A = this chain, B = another copy of it.
Amino acid sequence: MKHFTSVHDLDSLDEALKLAFELKKDPYKYQTLGKNKTLLLVFFNSSLRTRLSTQKAGLNLGMNVIVFDINEGGWKLETELGVIMDGDKPEHIREAVPVIGKYCDIIGVRSFAKFENREDDYQEKIIQQFIDYAGVPVVSMEAATRHPLQSFADHLTIEEFKTKERPKVVLTWAPHPRALPQAVPNSFVEWMRQTDYELVVTHPEGYELAPEFMGDLKPEYDQMKAFEGADFIYAKNWAAYNDYGKILSKDMNWTVTDRQMAVTNNAKFMHCLPVRRNMIVSDSVIDGPNSIVVPEAENRLFSAQAVLKMLLDQMK
């Protein structure tokens, strides 16, 4: 593994899972592995779990960790080539990235979809420039189209809570006041398709995810039907891919409540967080005994630590 931007970067998903569970059992097992190695986390966007869990993951491995909120303490970055830089952006990503790469051994980057232009987002222009110019391994802490550390943690969580070999996992769209990126659902679908779980994706018509992530999978437009017999409900909002970045529905019938959970196989409720209560999910479901959103968030620590461990191993 050179960089970590999707499940496909892993040399072996099985080994990665095994390592993450090993680290969960003993987080300080490799606490000298990262000695004299610096992890530099670059944030273009807000973060709670990613920011804290990835810092702690690096520290658990003995790394030095530097956090950089590039839009706060740094300079606004120009990302287009060939422009006359006479506006509000004093620095170009072409200089910033290789320079950052000189001050660390691994870079983590968070850069959300901008929803200005689907091609720009889906070509992953920002994180790709980090990969092209940084000179060191790059870890996605959520890029425009994927959030692989989240999906890895989701996988760990399902493994921990599943009660049958091949659980039914349902990704459901739910309403939200703002237009949100597709990174989490894309990445979740892509990752789940690497397992032998039964995967169902349900959303209102118009919310189809990009074909490159769905592959042969067909969406189920009837949410109640999708929920029948489910073992895990994974809720998330996203804006439309086809009518790019648009909010097509705020239908509160899609909010996950006891009504839908009743038809499941006593399903666990998952969400990547932050979650809008009583938009995405009712208080009763998220506060109920089947809500596993906090253990799911806790696993962010171990997915991050496993990824960093694997990258450090390759530097020896």
Contacts and interface: CB of A to CB of B under 8 A. Distances in A.
A75 B96 contact: no
A278 B83 contact: yes
A59 to B, nearest CB: 4
Contacts of A198: none
B75 A274 contact: yes
Copies in the complex: 3
Contacts of A286: 95
B48 A287 contact: no
Contact of A68 (B52, B74, B83, B273): B52
B74 A66 contact: no
Given A48-B99, A75-B46, A81-B283, A91 B278 contact: no
Interface in A153-183: 177
Given A69-B72, A98-B294, A56 B84 contact: no
Contacts of A277: 78, 83-85, 92, 94
Contacts of A118: none
B297 A56 contact: no
A283 B81 CA distance: 9
Interface residues of A, number: 63
B52 A100 contact: yes
A55 interface: yes
Contact of A276 (B47, B66, B90): B90
A83 B279 CA distance: 10
A297 B102 contact: yes
Contacts of A53: 103
A127 B161 CA distance: 31
A236 to B, nearest CB: 13
A102 B301 contact: yes
A81 B278 CA distance: 10
A277 B82 CA distance: 8
A274 B74 CA distance: 10
Interface stretch (A35-43, A238-246, A259-267, A307-315): A35-43
Given A48-B68, A78-B277, 5 more contacts: A27-B36, A38-B56, A46-B75, A48-B99, A56-B103
